[in-house]
């Protein structure tokens, strides 16, 4: 399954080559032109010389990961996060490191050796290390190097009622949507950008949009679902199982109001479940795409995912399908408007 292969592939910010190669192979039959720019964005074009509004779909390839920043005398590896990761979720997680996929375990002082005051607080990054089963710095240096990325080892699996658990659903779910939507028949110019370095500052999207110069852009994301224990209902950004979330505003963007209204109107007309993202925290590539060159009309359509930026996330296959149907309906609307 495509989403399984996408989530199990590796691609840290700035180190997206593995996931980029996988996506390129998937989209080659459906694109008229494909390019990779200097930053590493993968951009596919359909009908590049046609008339009509220039539409851009965007999804980021990179995932949160860890970077090796030190090798201790005893062979343990010190690391720092690539993207926003809560250190509390890291203890005892398994990882693979670098191109060789060296296996490791994130270790800490075991509870029976901790002082009472240590048991009452979470470990900091300084107190964690990756154990790759060697005894010395010299042994470790034969296997890994500074700057290598470490990735969670979570496998894609379908669980419960139409649910999926996997790593990197933020934003491989958006990549899967973009690949599928690229297969739709449209007559207007369509660019599909698989962007880089979103997790460390939305860096690739602005570069991609500068090249494409879209009239409008739809950003396809996996967003936080806060329908979890301990979160007040009014603070829940999105809920799993209620359809894709359409953003009104976040810390990086105010989505184009007529575009948002049209998406919600189409959802009602087509009986597609959809929800409004109910908080304004976080940000997406929309913030950079909206401001590129002369600017673009943007909207964000996101699949709600619980526990993002951790070793494992959970989403609904029904939400994924509804997101696909909603964006497809909008592309069909544009097709009719242009005739």
d(CA 290, CA 255): 9
Distances (CA, A) of 45 to 29, 50, 86, 190, 196: 12, 11, 37, 6, 17
Q: Please tell me the distance from the alpha carbon of residue 252 to that of residue 283, in angstroms, as a whole number.
A: 5
Q: Give the 3-state secondary structure of residue 12.
A: strand
Distance CA 172, CA 315 (A): 12
Catalytic residue among 26, 198, 199, 221: 198
How many C-beta atoms lie closer than 10 Å to residue 98's C-beta?
17
Residue among 69, 43, 70 at smallest CA distance from 58: 43
Cα–Cα distance, 261 to 109 (Å, whole number): 53
Helices (H) and strands (E) in the chain, counts: 8, 17
The answer to whether 63 is a known catalytic residue is: no
For 144-207, the DSSP string reads --TT-EEEE-PPPEEETTTEEEES-HHHHHHHHHHHHHHTS--SS-EEEEEES-GGGTSHHHHH
Distance between CA atoms of 239 and 87, rounded to whole angstroms? 25
Cross-strand bridge partners of residue 300: 219
Peptide bond into 171 cis (omega under 30): yes
Active site (catalytic) residues: 198
């Amino acid at each position: 399954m495509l989403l399984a292969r996408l989530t199990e592939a590796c691609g840290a910010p700035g180190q997206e080559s593995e996931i980029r190669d996988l996506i390129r192979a998937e989209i080659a039959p459906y694109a008229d032109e494909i390019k990779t720019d200097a930053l590493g964005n993968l951009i596919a074009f359909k009908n590049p010389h046609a008339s009509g509004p220039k539409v851009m779909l965007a999804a980021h390839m990179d995932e949160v990961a860890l970077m090796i920043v030190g090798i201790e005398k005893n062979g343990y590896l010190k690391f720092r996060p690539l993207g926003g990761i809560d250190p509390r979720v890291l203890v005892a997680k398994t990882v693979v490191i670098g191109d060789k996929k060296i296996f490791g375990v994130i270790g800490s002082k075991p509870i029976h050796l901790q002082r009472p005051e240590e048991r009452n607080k979470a470990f900091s990054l300084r107190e964690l290390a990756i154990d790759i089963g060697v005894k010395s710095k010299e042994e470790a240096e034969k296997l890994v190097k500074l700057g290598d990325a470490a990735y969670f080892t979570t496998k894609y699996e379908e669980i419960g009622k139409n649910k999926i658990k996997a790593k990197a659903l933020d934003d491989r779910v958006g990549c899967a949507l973009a690949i599928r939507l690229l297969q739709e028949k449209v007559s207007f110019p369509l660019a599909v950008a698989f962007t880089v370095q979103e997790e460390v500052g939305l860096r690739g999207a602005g570069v991609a949009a500068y090249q494409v110069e879209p009239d409008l852009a739809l950003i396809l994301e996996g967003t936080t679902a806060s329908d979890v224990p301990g979160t007040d209902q009014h603070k829940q950004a999105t809920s799993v199982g209620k359809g894709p979330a359409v953003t009104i505003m976040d810390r990086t963007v105010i989505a184009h109001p007529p575009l948002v209204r049209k998406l919600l109107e189409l959802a009602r007309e087509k009986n597609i479940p959809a929800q409004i993202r109910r908080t304004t925290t976080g940000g997406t590539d929309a913030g950079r795409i909206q401001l590129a060159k002369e600017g673009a009309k943007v909207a964000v359509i996101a699949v709600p995912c619980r526990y993002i930026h951790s070793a494992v996330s959970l989403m609904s296959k029904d939400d994924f399908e509804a997101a696909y149907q909603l964006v497809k309906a909008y592309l069909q609307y544009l097709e009719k408007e242009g005739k």
